[in-house]
Structures are given as structure tokens and as C-alpha cells.
């Protein structure tokens, strides 16, 4: 790399013209990731099972100036994952970035949790991610163009939780392991694989924790006692790390889990 970037260091974060696939685009993180990449100039294939919510995200991205294709599929099967990846190639004959924003949680004490519920969480958070990465690699590796993969982990991949999180914590620990293994496996192809691990950040699902109610204050105060920066996360706290991991600014970073948690996992 020449030193021309010193004249404009921000160019390291440039993703204009890159083609990105974002799954879970109707959810809190997937929708945010899609909008961040749209605003940064990427072309997008957005995938989600909820067609109405998917189109809402797509319209928001188009309003930001992005070219967008949608595919109303969840990454539940190998065929569906291949279809999601193929949508980018069919649209632009190009594929640079994969952001896996799909996943789920289903809290339940282990003694009350049926095997099917445990397997559903593992399938949604681990198997589907593995299948998407496989489909991405099969398309991108032969092109010899390199690429960027960003998975979504959680602080719960590192820390336990007493509220019936055996499936979720196990699935996110597996996501971290997949990140490390693929980072090693795909380094020779110029493909970086990293994960973002948030803690609580503002979204429709967590909006109640930001409210000025007795319940919210009690839960919030208990949680913030463990957060060195003393606040809950905002969407922009995830936007910066995402853009870093999707751009050449992170060209020498792979196999890492980046904790966007205000220091929660540091102590």
C-alpha cells in the first residue's frame, strides 16, 4: 500500500461501490448495518424473512442513495443461503462484504428447555451463519478479490447470564470460535472475518430500558454498575466498528471479536 492514504486517512474507510449482503435486515442490528453501508455508498442485497419490515429497511437505504435488492428469505437452509449470495452476483456480478445480522434468542432455564428450542437457537445463530459463510466463500474465493465478513456475536459469548441463556451464550461462544477459525482459514485468500459483540444498545426491543420508569431504572442501574462508561449503547456505537470491519481500514485485522460494550466485558 502506498502512502497516498496519508493525504486522506478517511479513504481507508471508503466502501463506495462495494457490494454487500446483509442478512437479518429487518432486525435491530441488520437494519442498522444496512443503513450504515447505504449511507457510506455501498450497493446492497438485503435478506430477511419478514417481507414488510425488509422493504421498510430497503426504502430507508434507498433514501440514503443506495442501490438495493431484496430477497425475502431467512438463511435456514444451504439452498436459501446460496440464493441470498447469488442475488448479489446476479445484480452486479460482484461481492465484497457479508454482514450476518440474522439470529435469535429464546431464554429458558435449562431444566425446562426442550431440545428443539435449544437446537433452534443453535441453528439460527451458528448453523445459519456457517452456511452463509460457506456460500460466500464458494463465490468469492475463486474470484481472488478478497472480501470482508462481519458476524454478530454478543458479550454473552464471553460472559454467562443467569436468566436461561444456556443456548444463547453457547451459540455466541460458537460464533466467536467460527470467527477465529475462518480468520485463520481464509487469510490466504485476503478475506477478513471478524465479529461485533454488542451489549445492550438502543433498538425497538430495548427501548423500554431507556425509559424513565421504575422498572427500567432498576434494571438499567443494575446493569450500568458493570459498565465502566456508565451508559447504554446507541446505534452510532455500532456504526463505527461496523464500517471499520467492512473497509480496508481493517485489512490487517482478522479473527477478532470487537466488543462494543462500554467496557462491560473488560472488568
Q: Which of 76, 162, 54, 83 is nearest to 125 (CA)?
A: 76
* Residue 28 near residue 204, CB atoms below 8 Å: yes
In three-state form (DSSP H/G/I as H, E/B as E, the rest C), the secondary structure along 1-52 is CCHHHHHCHHHHHCCCCCEEEEECCCCHHHHHHHHHHHHCCCEEEEECCCHH
The CA distance from 52 to 170, in Å, is 31
Other residues' Cβ atoms within 10 Å of the Cβ of residue 36:
23
Reading the block at residue 158, the C-alpha cell is: 464471553
Other residues' Cβ atoms within 10 Å of the Cβ of residue 176:
19
The residue annotated as part of the active site, out of 168, 189, 259, 264, is 168
Residue 109 makes CB contacts below 8 A (sequence gap 6+) with 164
The CA distance from 222 to 264, in Å, is 12
258 phi, psi to nearest 5 deg? -95, 115
168 noted as active-site residue? yes
Cβ burial, residue 116 (10 Å; 0-12/13-18/19+) = exposed
Residues labelled catalytic? 168
Amino acid at each position: 500500500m502506498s502512502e497516498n492514504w496519508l493525504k486522506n486517512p478517511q479513504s481507508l474507510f471508503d466502501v463506495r461501490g462495494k457490494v454487500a449482503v446483509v442478512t437479518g435486515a429487518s432486525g435491530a442490528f441488520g437494519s442498522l448495518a444496512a443503513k450504515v453501508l447505504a449511507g457510506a455508498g455501498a450497493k446492497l442485497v438485503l435478506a430477511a424473512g419478514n417481507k414488510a419490515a425488509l422493504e421498510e429497511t430497503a426504502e430507508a437505504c434507498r433514501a440514503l442513495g443506495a442501490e438495493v435488492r431484496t430477497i425475502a428469505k431467512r438463511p435456514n437452509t444451504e439452498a436459501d443461503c446460496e440464493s441470498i449470495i447469488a442475488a448479489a452476483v446476479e445484480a452486479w456480478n460482484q461481492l465484497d462484504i457479508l454482514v450476518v445480522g440474522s439470529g435469535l434468542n429464546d431464554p429458558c432455564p435449562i431444566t425446562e428447555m426442550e431440545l428443539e428450542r435449544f437446537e433452534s437457537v443453535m441453528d439460527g445463530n451458528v448453523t445459519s451463519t456457517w452456511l452463509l459463510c460457506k456460500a460466500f466463500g464458494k463465490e468469492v474465493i475463486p474470484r481472488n478479490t478478497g472480501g470482508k465478513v462481519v458476524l454478530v456475536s454478543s458479550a454473552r459469548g464471553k460472559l454467562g447470564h443467569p436468566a436461561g441463556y444456556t443456548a444463547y451464550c453457547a451459540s455466541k461462544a460458537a460464533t466467536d470460535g467460527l470467527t477465529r477459525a475462518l480468520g485463520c482459514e481464509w487469510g490466504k485468500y485476503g478475506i477478513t472475518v471478524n465479529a461485533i459483540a454488542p451489549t445492550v444498545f438502543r433498538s425497538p426491543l430495548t427501548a423500554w430500558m431507556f425509559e424513565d420508569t421504575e422498572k427500567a431504572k432498576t434494571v438499567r442501574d443494575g446493569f450500568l454498575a458493570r459498565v465502566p462508561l456508565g451508559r447504554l449503547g446507541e446505534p452510532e456505537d455500532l456504526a463505527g466498528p461496523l464500517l471499520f470491519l467492512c473497509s480496508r481500514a481493517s485489512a490487517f485485522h482478522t479473527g477478532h471479536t470487537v466488543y462494543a460494550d462500554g467496557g462491560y466485558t473488560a472488568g
